[in-house]
């Protein structure tokens, strides 16, 4: 764990505050950052208060770290105090006369970040403290809690007694906290896709922020494999499609963003996606970051965001209209390439547009990129099992157009591209001569689920009628799913869990029309400002996801994520005869979906919704109503009973959120 200054309590007391402020100023100069007078005064005030407080708490032997970097949050903790039994996270507000909700959330989020992503902070209590130097004496509650405590408050005079009380209230552990081991322990934050886009846009490297689990080095291997394929195509003056496959939440989009604008970004690469909500939210986040953190205003941040994040449909239409124009990029990244349209969908007119496409989107993409002089590469990111729309061509169409290119195009992919259970998601039958296999192009380890690597496997077992397999996975422990039949309990539990700056939200299928009877009629579908507000604003803004009023559908949330998800199960996917049955609501009644492709899309809708959470998904299955033929209780009970057989525990409305097995036992303050 990196800190600008690390010292013991005794050493801190031995030198004046000016000395420590000078060391911090020197460290800041090394960051090429200008020192503001207010910052120096804040450092002087914090050190002076620590010098008063530590002797009162017996903290001369403790370790004090000043300005600890948190990569995920792009911020620094003012101070971390390591006692022999706890990690105290100190957020200092110089001259503040009170404790604001925003400051409390910030302090709590710092502590949660350490607990979740720093290995040395997983074996002892993490105690966030908000120190507002000029505030009146606060009243703190001392509850029983796990791992990360609620935020404790202190003013200048109360810091010493507070530290003494924290130390005396926590029992001495069998193994005392080792400051050297704590500092050397790895800190590997798992960013949200929004966090990652912000950091990559500033030219940070994705591998440094990729994962809290050592086994996910797969992400780095896959990135290297893509770069090898690009280098080979460039050296040989070839044209190649690089297929990157993977389970939901494995980091495919992260790989693509890294290639487009990371530290070692491919020169001239463009990130293309047909996921309009993803584009809108990421563009909004980059513009917001430019205003709030970088102090930039005007249209330039918006233009920069639009340059690196492009809508693939508009890219194709532009170049079809200009048949003699070659793209400027030698490399394009096609996100969710399995969702590229087939010829029928690509050529269909809608109310919003008149199509000028005559081929499938894969065919148009190969023709357009063939115009680029000398060589070109298409990096196709494939989300297996996430096709949710009619007209999505799948890998089979990509394979067909490469095979029909007369040798003009080659491909490289992992064996998964040939082994998929669904024929539409296989590049080809057998091993064609135009395809080279590279196992490193398959991302097999989910990154989205921070503490639980088997979430995607459990979801697949649930949705493919393998209850026994799902139950066996759940029996290993730590399953990040809970079941409730009470909407009020769902909302209360989400609010209890979404601490600090963590984000919660409700999701549902776009076809779950009868959820309106439960009060969940408002749905979020498109890519307009409403979606951007839902993902980027915070409660008490009622437009934010954590207002828990509007459900995002699969169209709004695919490719994005939340920390805590409340999934409302609809009548479009029910149990019948021991199997799943997909339905549509037409007029005043449900109708069975007969088309295998449509059944597949509805099943995948729930795969998308069940894999949006970074920490936990709470599943709400309504009770139904015997008086309403569109919501029979027996159907709802059958879904709930099946999920229970798959190992989902019931939500206890009073329970403390699940803590990973490596966390300490509960302790009393």
List, for residues 400-444, the tens digit of each pLDDT value: 999 999 999 999 999 999 988 778 788 998 899 999 999 999 987
Q: Residue 439: which CATH number?
A: 3.40.50
Q: Provide the 10 A C-beta neighbour count for residue 424.
A: 16
Please say whether the beta carbons of 367 and 425 come within 8 A: no
- Region of 45 (left: φ > 0; alpha: ψ -120 to 50; beta: rest) is alpha
pLDDT, tens only, 300-341: 666 766 766 788 888 999 999 999 999 988 999 998 888 788
Looking at 443, 471, 488, the residue that finishes a domain is: 443
Residue whose tokens read 């009146």: 136
Please say whether the beta carbons of 274 and 340 come within 8 A: yes
The pair of three-digit structure tokens given for residue 609, joined into one six-digit string:
């919704």
Q: What is the pLDDT of residue 479?
A: 95
Q: What is the pLDDT of residue 597?
A: 81
Asked whether the bond before 596 is cis by omega within 30 degrees of 0, the reply is no
Answer yes or no: do 135 and 68 share one domain. yes
Q: Rounded distance, CA 520 to CA 569, Å?
A: 11
Strand 3-8 to 63-70 pairing: antiparallel
Within-domain flag for 656: no
Three-state DSSP state, 414: coil
Within-domain flag for 653: no
pLDDT, averaged in runs of 10, over the chain (669 residues) = 93 96 89 77 96 97 94 80 96 94 94 91 93 94 75 96 93 92 86 74 50 53 91 96 85 81 65 85 81 66 71 90 92 88 76 75 96 96 66 84 96 92 84 95 79 87 97 95 97 95 96 96 83 93 96 90 96 96 96 89 93 95 95 97 98 57 36
pTM: 0.83
- Residues 6 or more apart in contact with residue 659 via CB below 8 angstroms: 146, 147
Q: What is the pLDDT of residue 545?
A: 97
Count: domains in the chain: 3
Answer yes or no: do 432 and 461 share one domain. no
Residue whose tokens read 């809608």: 350
Within-domain flag for 552: yes
- How far does CA 394 lie from the centroid of its chain? 25
Answer yes or no: do 259 and 400 share one domain. yes
Within-domain flag for 204: no
pLDDT, tens only, 228-278: 999 999 999 999 999 999 877 777 888 888 887 765 565 668 889 888 888
- Residues 6 or more apart in contact with residue 609 via CB below 8 angstroms: 507, 508, 509, 554, 557, 565, 567
SS3 content of the chain, % helix, strand, coil (to 5): 40, 20, 40
Q: What is the pLDDT of residue 255?
A: 83
Answer yes or no: do 253 and 357 share one domain. yes
Answer yes or no: do 161 and 227 share one domain. no
The pair of three-digit structure tokens given for residue 255, joined into one six-digit string:
């790989």
Answer yes or no: do 494 and 628 share one domain. yes
Within-domain flag for 200: no
Answer yes or no: do 426 and 502 share one domain. no
Within-domain flag for 40: yes
The pair of three-digit structure tokens given for residue 595, joined into one six-digit string:
């088309």
Answer yes or no: do 535 and 417 share one domain. no
Q: Provide the 10 A C-beta neighbour count for residue 533.
A: 18
Answer yes or no: do 163 and 265 share one domain. no
Q: What is the pLDDT of residue 653?
A: 57
Answer yes or no: do 258 and 125 share one domain. no
Buried b (16+ CB within 10 A) or exposed e, 448-471: bbbbbbbbbebbbbbbbeebebbb
Signed CA dihedral, 176, 182, 184, 186: sign only:
positive
Asked whether the bond before 653 is cis by omega within 30 degrees of 0, the reply is no
Residue whose tokens read 């494995």: 250
Answer yes or no: do 429 and 480 share one domain. no
Q: What is the pLDDT of residue 151?
A: 95
Within-domain flag for 20: yes
pLDDT, tens only, 627-654: 999 999 999 999 999 999 999 999 985 5
Q: Rounded distance, CA 564 to CA 416, Å?
A: 30
Q: Rounded distance, CA 239 to CA 535, Å?
A: 38
Within-domain flag for 197: no
Residue whose tokens read 């999701």: 507
Bridge partners of 552, per DSSP, are 507, 524
Tell me the residue range of the domain where 609 lies.
Answer: 455-645
Answer yes or no: do 581 and 512 share one domain. yes
Q: Residue 140: which CATH number?
A: 3.40.1350
């Amino acid at each position: 764990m990196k800190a600008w200054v690390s010292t013991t309590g005794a050493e801190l007391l031995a030198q004046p505050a000016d000395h420590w402020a000078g060391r911090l100023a020197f460290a800041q100069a090394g960051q090429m950052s200008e020192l503001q007078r207010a910052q120096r005064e804040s450092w002087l005030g914090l050190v002076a208060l620590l010098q008063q407080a530590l002797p009162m708490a017996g903290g001369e032997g403790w370790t004090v770290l000043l300005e600890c970097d948190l990569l995920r949050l792009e911020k620094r903790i003012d101070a971390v105090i390591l006692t022999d039994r706890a990690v105290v996270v100190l957020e200092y507000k110089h001259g503040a006369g009170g404790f604001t909700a925003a400051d409390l959330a910030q302090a709590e989020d710092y502590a949660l970040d350490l607990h979740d992503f720093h290995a040395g902070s997983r074996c002892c209590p993490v105690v966030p403290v908000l120190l507002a130097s000029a505030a009146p004496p606060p009243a703190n509650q001392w509850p029983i809690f796990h791992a990360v405590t609620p935020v404790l408050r202190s003013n200048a005079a109360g810091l010493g007694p507070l530290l003494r009380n924290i130390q005396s209230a926590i029992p001495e552990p069998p193994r005392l906290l080792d400051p050297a081991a704590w500092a050397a322990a790895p800190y590997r934050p798992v960013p949200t896709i929004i966090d990652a886009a912000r950091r990559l846009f500033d030219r940070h490297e994705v591998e440094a922020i990729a994962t809290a689990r050592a086994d996910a080095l797969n992400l780095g291997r896959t990135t290297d494999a893509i770069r090898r394929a690009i280098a080979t195509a460039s050296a040989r003056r070839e044209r190649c499609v690089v297929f990157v496959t993977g389970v939901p939440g494995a980091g495919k989009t992260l790989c693509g963003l890294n290639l487009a604008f990371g530290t070692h970004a491919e020169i001239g690469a463009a990130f293309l996606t047909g996921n309009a909500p993803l584009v809108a939210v990421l563009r909004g986040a980059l513009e917001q970051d430019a205003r709030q953190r970088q102090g930039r205003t005007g249209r330039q941040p918006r233009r920069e965001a639009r340059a690196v994040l492009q809508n693939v449909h508009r890219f194709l239409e532009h170049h079809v209209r200009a048949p003699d124009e070659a793209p400027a990029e030698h490399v394009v990244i096609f996100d969710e390439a399995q969702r590229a349209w087939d010829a029928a969908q690509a050529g269909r007119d809608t109310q919003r547009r008149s199509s000028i496409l005559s081929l499938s989107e894969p065919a148009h993409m190969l023709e357009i990129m063939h115009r680029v002089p000398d060589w070109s590469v298409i990096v196709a990111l494939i989300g297996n099992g996430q096709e949710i729309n009619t007209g999505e061509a799948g890998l089979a169409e990509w394979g067909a157009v490469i095979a029909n290119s007369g040798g003009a195009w080659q491909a490289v992919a992992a064996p998964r591209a040939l082994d998929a259970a669904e024929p539409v998601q296989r590049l080809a039958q057998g091993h064609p001569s135009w395809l080279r296999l590279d196992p490193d192009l398959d991302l097999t380890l989910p990154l989205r689920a921070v503490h639980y690597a088997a979430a995607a496997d459990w979801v697949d077992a649930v949705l493919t009628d393998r209850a026994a397999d799902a139950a066996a996975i759940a029996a290993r422990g730590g399953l990040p799913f809970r079941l409730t039949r009470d909407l009020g309990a769902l909302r209360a539990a989400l609010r209890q869990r979404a601490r600090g700056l963590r984000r919660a939200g409700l999701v549902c299928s776009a076809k779950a029309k009868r959820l309106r009877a439960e009060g969940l009629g408002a749905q979020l579908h498109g890519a307009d400002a409403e979606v951007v507000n839902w993902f980027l604003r915070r409660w008490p803004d009622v437009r934010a996801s954590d207002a828990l009023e509007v459900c995002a559908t699969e169209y709004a949330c695919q490719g994005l994520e939340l920390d805590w998800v409340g999934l409302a199960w609809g009548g479009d996917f029910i149990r019948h005869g021991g199997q799943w049955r997909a339905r549509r609501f037409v007029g005043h009644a449900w109708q069975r979906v007969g088309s295998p492709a449509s059944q597949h899309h509805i099943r995948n809708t729930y795969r998308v919704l069940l894999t949006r959470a970074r920490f936990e998904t709470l599943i709400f299955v309504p009770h139904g109503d015997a008086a309403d033929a569109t919501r029979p209780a027996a159907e709802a009970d059958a879904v709930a009973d099946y999920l229970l057989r798959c190992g989902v525990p019931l939500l206890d409305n009073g329970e403390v959120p699940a803590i990973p097995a490596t966390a300490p036992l509960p302790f009393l303050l």
